């Protein structure tokens, strides 16, 4: 499935963030390379596609969650 999102930026999450996203909750992105704003992106955890969404004020917000 990740190949289908190759044109979009990928954000890799930690275990705690991944759990929140699996439940459709927004997560604060941290770290030096964390984006502050993105119109469209996808998030993953250990190579698994979790969701698509956007980043607003440093927070990833889910558009579609894949379970």
Domain count along the chain? 1
In whole angstroms, what separates CA 53 from the centre of its chain? 7
Paired strand residues for 41: 53
In degrees, rounded to 5, the angle at the alpha carbon of residue 11 between the alpha carbons of residues 6 and 13 is: 135
Q: Does residue 2 have a pLDDT over 80?
A: no
Name which residue leads in pLDDT, 31 or 40.
40
Domain span including residue 31? 2-65
- Confidence category of residue 38, pLDDT binned at 50, 70, 90: very high
Q: Does residue 24 have a pLDDT over 90?
A: yes
Tell me, what CATH number does 44's domain have? Answer: 2.30.130.10
Looking at every residue in the chain, the average pLDDT score rounds to 94
Q: 56 — phi, psi (to 5°)?
A: -135, 125
Mean pLDDT for the stretch of residues 27-49: 95
pTM for the complete prediction?
A: 0.91
């Amino acid at each position: 499935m990740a190949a289908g999102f190759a044109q979009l930026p990928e954000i890799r999450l930690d275990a705690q963030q991944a759990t929140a996203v699996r439940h459709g909750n927004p997560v604060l992105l941290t770290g030096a390379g964390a984006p502050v704003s993105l119109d469209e992106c996808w998030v993953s955890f250990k190579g698994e596609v979790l969701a698509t969404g956007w980043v607003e004020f440093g927070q990833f917000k889910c558009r579609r969650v894949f379970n």
